[in-house]
Structure 1
Amino acid sequence: MAKEAVFTMKLEPELRDAFMAAAAEVDRPASQIVRDLMRGYVEKLRDEREYVEFVRRKVEKARKSIEAGRGRSNEEVSAHFAKKRAELRRRAAEGRG
């Protein structure tokens, strides 16, 4: 990727000095570290937007399922998985016996 843009920012001298020292400590150019931080930030925001959209679609699908009468109450789901857990415990106990 071509590096043609210049990015200037203002920050506290203490922060700049600490950052430059940290960059020197790991023997990396400060500009490379800043690029990595920027890429990470952009990626994090993209991932968050994608996750929010994923959840929105999932909720919409669940609402449509409930409206169509395919939903189950919390009690039904809890009972279903309690039964599954009991079955798994029984099978595990048989395997040890």
Structure 2
Amino acid sequence: MSESTFTFRVDDSLKAEFSQAAKCKDRTGAQLLRDFMREFVRQQQEAEAHDAWFRREVQAGIDAANAGDVVSAEEVEVEAAAWRAELQRRLNGAMS
């Protein structure tokens, strides 16, 4: 792994407090900053992957709707009513 230097400006008091907090964790400020950077990159990659998945799912739904592959509101309500009735039956059985 090749390395490079990352230089930035920070308030003196923040640097001192950060260095002290890092020392309390038996870490250097540089170690923590590398950890923070890795975590930030990981979070961004996960967010991008989720966004790509979500866009694919939405497009699949749009494509299905455009192709006429839809369920009517009436069909959904009939199925939901059956689910509710089954749940109510289970709840009534559990309370007996």
Name the TM tier (shorter chain).
0.7 to 0.9
AA aligned to 1:41 is: F
Against the structure 1 CA distance between its residues 82 and 25, is the aligned structure 2 distance closer, same or farther, given a 3 Å change threshold?
A: farther
TM-score (norm 2): 0.83
Runs of 4+ in 1 over 6 A off after TM superposition: none
Aligned equivalent of 1:50: 49
AA aligned to 2:21 is: A
Q: What are structure 2's unaligned runs of at least 5 residues?
A: none
CA distance in 2, matches of 1:10, 1:75: 62
Aligned equivalent of 1:90: 89
Aligned equivalent of 2:63: 64
CA distance in 2, matches of 1:93, 1:86: 10
Matched residue of 2:45: which SS?
helix
How many residue pairs get aligned? The number is 96
Percentage of matched positions with identical amino acids: 32
Q: Please state how far the C-alpha of 1:56 moved relative to its aligned partner.
A: 0.6
Matched residue of 1:5: which SS?
coil
Aligned equivalent of 1:4: 3
Matched residue of 2:69: which SS?
coil
Deviation string 1:27-48 (CA, Å, 9 cap, x unpaired) is: 1111111111000111111111
| RMSD, matched Cα | 2.0
Against the structure 1 CA distance between its residues 72 and 23, is the aligned structure 2 distance closer, same or farther, given a 3 Å change threshold?
A: same
Q: Please state how far the C-alpha of 1:20 moved relative to its aligned partner.
A: 0.7
Q: What are structure 1's unaligned runs of at least 5 residues?
A: none
Against the structure 1 CA distance between its residues 82 and 36, is the aligned structure 2 distance closer, same or farther, given a 3 Å change threshold?
A: farther
AA aligned to 1:89 is: Q
Q: Please state how far the C-alpha of 1:61 moved relative to its aligned partner.
A: 0.3
